[in-house]
Amino acid sequence: MSRPSSPNGSSEETVTSHARQKEASDKGALSESKQPSSHDSEHSPSFLGFRNLMVIVLVVMNLRLVVENFQKYGVLICLRCHDYRRHDLMLSTLLYALVPCHLFVAYVLELGAAQHAKGVLGRLKRSAERNPDSDPLMTSRAFQATWYTIAWAHGINASFCLLVTTFTVYYHIHHPLIGIICQIHAIIVWLKNCSYAFTNRDLRHAYLYPQHTSWDELPELYSQCPYPQNVTIGNLAYFWWAPTLVYQPIYPRTPSIRWTFVAKRLAECASLSIFIWLASAQYAAPLLHNSLSKISTMDVPSILERLMKLSTVSLVIWLAGFFAVFQSVLNALAEIMRFGDREFYTEWWNSPSVGNYWRTWNKPVYHFMRRHIYSPLVGRGFSSGFASLIVFVFSGLLHELLVGVPTHNILGVAFAGMVVQLPMIAMTTPLERMEGVNGRVVGNCIFWISFCLVGQPLAALIYFFAWQAKYGSLSKQKV
């Protein structure tokens, strides 16, 4: 017989189940309260979507400017509108043909110096056999005069090449682009001539004064072509075409030439050259022409507006030119010459300071300045600040020759732009040395602002205005 259930049994079970549910809900709420908040999370949220949005906005904004440009001006590209005079082309070709003559003179000078060094070394050995304590090289005034004569001859030869080109471009070549190409080649050859003379001078010193030379300072690669075996026409001709400004008796070489690689680099250069031409004719030229009236009336707000508008176009053109030269042309030339050292630039776009940019964006020029100007000055007891000042003053003079001479307006703007880099370097160097990333981010922003707004667009406006005032529409208005 079954035992009757208690009338309160069901109510007790119900109360117990409610209590258990309440306890479980309290534990769940307690466990949820222990979850970390968004501020305490170890994983920061990803902003990849916002980055993609910024890229899309930039693309759309620039496409709108493209459409607006075509609606306002139409197609401005014209093959026959450029003033390429036959006279300019003939003179530029002649200037290029004169360069091997100056290089041959440099070779003759070094050949004479090498022969003289061999003779002096032979007399030194005979003198040492007769009198081991004598050192005729240190006391011979005739010997010192010979080296001074060779140095002056090298200086006159190298400078004469640059002076002839500069005079011809300034007074006889009208088109600025042709003049700039001539000046670039003349400056490159001038720097190569100087490096050829300086390096051979050091090699002669090591050849004649082995007891005063630490052979550990000379690269091991130099032993494959010791002085004076490097003084040959072929050696100098290779240096003329090699994508470097610093002379060495021998360079690292690649085993073969990859012609497919060369074809790709040349195709890149051709495509980027066409792009630069289109961007300059369709976008930069109208902006520059529309700025003339604002500059002539000194309408400062309008000048600032044009400057900011020009900054985008000039930046795109500069980046395309940089890639065409340093990535395409120099790599193609290095491949043809089997040149082993291909570091023509490093990540300058991430520069945390202005100084870092100048050390990384143009490695061939940086190596020349450091080896032949900065290091010798510091080695002679000058401070690093003074050596940097000399480097930027020298670079400013070269920039003025490169821009002011072809535009027939030596204004000093390019020179001043280089000298102004020194206080900017002093201002951003502490940011580069700060712990953490904040200082480096601020330094990189300062670099880009000065690069995009203050540097190239302002110089382009000033030199274009001066050109138009001398040869263009403003000169016709004055008449």
Higher pLDDT, 357 or 47: 357
Q: Fill in the DSSP letter of residue 39.
A: T
Residue of 405, 373, 6, 363 lying closest to 174 (CA atoms)? 405
pLDDT 10s digits, 297-355: 787 888 888 888 888 888 888 999 999 999 999 999 999 999 988 889 999 999 899 99
Structure tokens at 116: 């003289």
Angstrom distance (rounded) from CA 325 to CA 265: 10
Please give the distance of CA 249 from its chain centroid, rounded to a whole number: 25
pLDDT of 253 over the 50 cut = yes
Angstrom distance (rounded) from CA 466 to CA 296: 11
In the structure, what pLDDT confidence band is assigned to residue 43 with cuts at 50, 70 and 90? low
pLDDT for the residue 438: 83
Angle formed by the axes of helices 384-403 and 176-208, nearest 10° = 140
Place of tokens 């069901």: 10
**Within a 10 A sphere around the Cβ of 336, how many other Cβ atoms?**
16
Higher pLDDT, 83 or 336: 336
One-letter amino acid at 293 equals: S
Structure tokens at 137: 């090289």
* Rounded mean pLDDT, 149-175: 89
In the structure, what pLDDT confidence band is assigned to residue 32 with cuts at 50, 70 and 90? very low
Place of tokens 């259930």: 5
In the structure, what pLDDT confidence band is assigned to residue 3 with cuts at 50, 70 and 90? very low
pLDDT 10s digits, 393-422: 999 999 999 999 999 888 888 899 889 889
3-state SS record for 151-194? HHHHHHHHHHHHHHHHHHHHHHCCCHHHHHHHHHHHHHHHHHHH
pLDDT for the residue 304: 83
pLDDT of 8 over the 60 cut = no
State the virtual CA torsion across 237, 239, 242, 247 in degrees, nearest 10.
Answer: 180
Residue of 82, 84, 66, 83 lying closest to 282 (CA atoms)? 66
Cβ(421)–Cβ(392) under 8 Å? Answer: yes
Least confident of 3-7, 204-208, 257-261, 356-360: 3-7
pLDDT 10s digits, 86-110: 888 899 999 988 888 888 899 999 9
Give the length of the chain: 479
* Contacts with 362 (C-beta within 8 Å, 6 or more apart), sequence order: 326, 344, 345
pLDDT of 33 over the 60 cut = no
Angle formed by the axes of helices 176-208 and 141-172, nearest 10° = 170
Angstrom distance (rounded) from CA 225 to CA 429: 41
3-state SS record for 299-327? CHHHHHHHHHHHHHHHHHHHHHHHHHHHH
* Rounded mean pLDDT, 250-273: 93
pLDDT of 80 over the 90 cut = no
* Rounded mean pLDDT, 357-373: 93
pLDDT for the residue 472: 67
Angstrom distance (rounded) from CA 321 to CA 433: 31
Sign of CA dihedral 275, 278, 282, 283: positive
Cβ(121)–Cβ(207) under 8 Å? Answer: yes
pLDDT of 4 over the 50 cut = no
pLDDT for the residue 449: 86
Structure tokens at 209: 């004064």
Give φ, ψ of 8 to 5 degrees. -95, 5
One-letter amino acid at 14 equals: T
Angstrom distance (rounded) from CA 280 to CA 286: 9
